[in-house]
A and B are shown apart, each in its own frame.
Chain A
Amino acid sequence: MLKRYWRLTLASALLVSGAVQAQGVAANGQQIVMQGDGSGAPCLACHGMDGAGNNLASFPRLAGLDAEYIAKQIRDYNSGKRVSVVMQPNVDNLTEQQILDVAAYYASQPVPKVEAATADAEVMALGEKIAKRGDWNNYIPACESCHGPDNQGMGVSFPGIAGQHANYIKQQLNAWRSGERHNDPNQLMTGVAERLSEQQLEAVAAYLGAQQAVAAEGGQ
C-alpha cells in the first residue's frame, strides 16, 4: 500500500517536473522537522532544529550534508535497506515530496562550529593517516579517496564525514562491520570498515569529528 502510494508520488513528481528532478522545499521541510511525520518523534528531538545532532548520544549532524544523501537514507529506512528501530517509525509516513523537503531543510542549515579535539596527539595523527593516506598494507584506502578532498563529501553518494560526530562515525563503522548497516552502494564501505583495527577505527572517528565541516554544494 505504502509502496504503491510512493510510486504514484514519484510518477506524479516526474510528470510535473518533466526532465527536471523533483526539488525539496526547505521551508516546508522546516514544518516537518518540528512536527514529525505524524506518528513519531519530530526530527528536532534528536537532530535539533539546526541539524547539529549530538555527539554524546551518537545523533548525527545533518546540517550541511548533501540533500540527496539525506533523502536516500530516509528512503532506505523505509524500504528496510537501512535498519534502525529509532529512525524507521519516525519517517515511515513521509511522502517522497516531504522526504525531499526535510532533506532540503537540513542540507541548507549552516554547519555548526567544530568541537575541540579531546583525543591525544598520537591518536589524532593515526586518524589523520587513515583519513588522508589509508593503510594500504591492509587494503584500507584513504577516506578522502571517496569522501572527497578533506573528507568534505563527494556528490550524492559519499557524504561529508569531516565534522561528523565521532561517536556516530564509530557507531556506523561498527554497524558496517557487524552487517547491521549495509546500504552502502556496491558495498564500498563494508570491506573498509571490517579491515580497520579497533585502534584505527577509534582514531579515524576522533580525527574526523575534530575537523571543521564545510557544507555540501547548495548548503551554507
Chain B
Amino acid sequence: MNRKHLMLAVAAAMMSQSVLAADAKVPVNLPEYKEGQYVHQAPTIDDLMADESVNPELRKVILKGYDMFMNTQQFRGEYVFNDMNCKTCHMGEGRMNWSGPVWPAVTTLPDYRGKNKHVNSLEERIAGCFAYSMNGTPPAYGSDDMLAMVAYHQWVAKGAPVYEKKLGGRGFSHLGKTIPEDISYEKGQAVYEANCAICHGNDGAGQKKDGKVVFPPLWGDGAYNWGAGMTRIFTAASFIQNNMPLSKPGSLSDADAWNVAWYVNSQERPQDPRYTGDAKETREKFIDFHKHSRYGTEVNGAVLGQHDNTGDKPFLKPDSLKPRTFE
C-alpha cells in the first residue's frame, strides 16, 4: 500500500467511526476494510459542479449519464423492460463502497470476465446490466447515451488507481460464496415478512405511485431476470446485509441475510436471455454462474425458470450478448 492509499484508508476509517457513533440507535454496521485494500472516496455531483477544470461540455455529458443512472426508467420500453433503475442495486449514486460501486469497472476493465468468458470493455460491462438486471437491451456501443453512461462512471472513478484489484467494498460478496447448509425458505420468508414486505410487498411486486417505481419489485415480471448477478444467492445475501432495509445497513444477521436472499431468489422472474429452451440444460451450460442460483432446480414442486416468460420484453436475447474471438 503506498502512502496515498494509506491516507485514504485512514480517512475512511475515521469517517466510518463518526458514522458508527457509539450511542446510535440505528448504527451503520459495515464490514471492516482489509489490510492493503485501496479505499476509494468517489466524488459527488456537487464536486463535479465545483470543479472548474472540467470542460463545460464534459460536465453536461457526465450529468446526462448521472441522470440516466438515477432515472433509468426514462428509457422504459427502449433499453429497460422492467422496473429497475441503475441506482436500484448500485445504491448511493453508484459511488458507495459496499453498495456495488461502479467505478471499479472503469479502473479494472478491459479484463477477462468469467460470466461471458472473454475480455470485456466498460461499455460491454454496462451492457450486461441492461441485458440481465434491467431485462432489456443496452444503448448502442459508441452512442451518445452509452458515452454519457461511461462518462458518469469515469467521473466517480476519479483518483482511483488503474488495474488495482484489492478494492475495499467492491461488489457484493463479503459474506463469501458458500451457501450455509441450514439455509431455509421458511426462515427466509419470516425475515422477509418482518423486514422487507412493508416496502416490497408480500407478493414481491414492489410499489409504484403515479406510475413511478418507488419500491422496486424483487420477483415477478418487473424484477431482474434469471441471468442477473443478483439471482446468485451470495450476491443477494451480501447486498441485502449491507444495504437493506434502506437506512439500516448491517442490521440483519448473517443468517437472516442468507435466508432472505434464498427466499427472494426462490421466486419466479423473467427468463435468462441465454435460455436454450430448457432451464435445466441452461443451468448446466452456464453452471459456473448458476451453481450460485436456484435457476433450473426444483423449488416447491416446479423447476424455476422453465417457462417462456420474458416479462415486458418482447424478445429473449439482446444483440449485445455475443462472443468475441479477437481473430
Contact between chains at A186 and B198 (CB < 8 Å)? yes
Which residue of B19, B45, B194, B199 contacts A139 across the interface (Cβ within 8 Å)?
Answer: B19
- Bound complex: CA of A140 vs CA of B44, how far in Å? 14
Which residue of A149, A192, A194 contacts B210 across the interface (Cβ within 8 Å)?
Answer: A149
Please give, as numbers and ranges, the residues of chain B lying within 8 Å of A140 by CB-CB distance. 247
Contact between chains at A136 and B93 (CB < 8 Å)? yes
B residues 47-103 touching A (CB-CB < 8 Å): 91-93, 95-96
Please give, as numbers and ranges, the residues of chain A lying within 8 Å of B25 by CB-CB distance. 179, 187, 190-191, 194
Which residue of B198, B207, B210 contacts A185 across the interface (Cβ within 8 Å)?
Answer: B198
Contact between chains at A190 and B209 (CB < 8 Å)? no
Any A CB within 8 A of the CB of B311? no
Contact between chains at A149 and B214 (CB < 8 Å)? yes
Interface residues contributed by chain B, number (CB under 8 Å): 30
Contact between chains at B246 and A145 (CB < 8 Å)? yes
Inter-chain residue pair count (beta carbon < 8 A): 70
1/0 per residue, CB under 8 A from A, across B166-194: the answer is: 00000000000000000000000000001
In which size bucket is the chain A interface?
Answer: 20 to 34
- Bound complex: CA of A187 vs CA of B198, how far in Å? 12
Any B CB within 8 A of the CB of A195? yes
Query: Provided the pairs A154-B207, A154-B214 are in contact, do residues A190 and B92 lie with their beta carbons within 8 angstroms?
Result: no
- Bound complex: CA of A152 vs CA of B209, how far in Å? 10
Contact between chains at A138 and B19 (CB < 8 Å)? yes
Contact between chains at A188 and B245 (CB < 8 Å)? yes
Nearest Cβ on chain A to B168's Cβ, whole angstroms:
15
Any A CB within 8 A of the CB of B302? no
Any A CB within 8 A of the CB of B26? yes
- Bound complex: CA of A155 vs CA of B96, how far in Å? 29
Contact between chains at B245 and A186 (CB < 8 Å)? yes
1/0 per residue, CB under 8 A from B, across A124-147: the answer is: 000000000100111111000110
Please give, as numbers and ranges, the residues of chain B lying within 8 Å of A138 by CB-CB distance. 19
Contact between chains at A139 and B249 (CB < 8 Å)? yes
Query: Provided the pairs A136-B92, A146-B246, A149-B209 are in contact, do residues A191 and B214 lie with their beta carbons within 8 angstroms?
Result: no
Give 11 A-B contacts (CB < 8 Å), ordered by A residue.
A136-B92, A137-B15, A141-B246, A145-B214, A145-B246, A149-B210, A188-B248, A191-B247, A192-B247, A194-B21, A195-B28
List 5 extra interface pairs beyond A179-B25, A191-B24, A194-B26, CB under 8 A.
A137-B15, A139-B28, A141-B91, A157-B198, A191-B248
State the A residues within 8 Å of B (CB): 133, 136-141, 145-146, 148-149, 152, 154-155, 157, 179, 185-192, 194-195
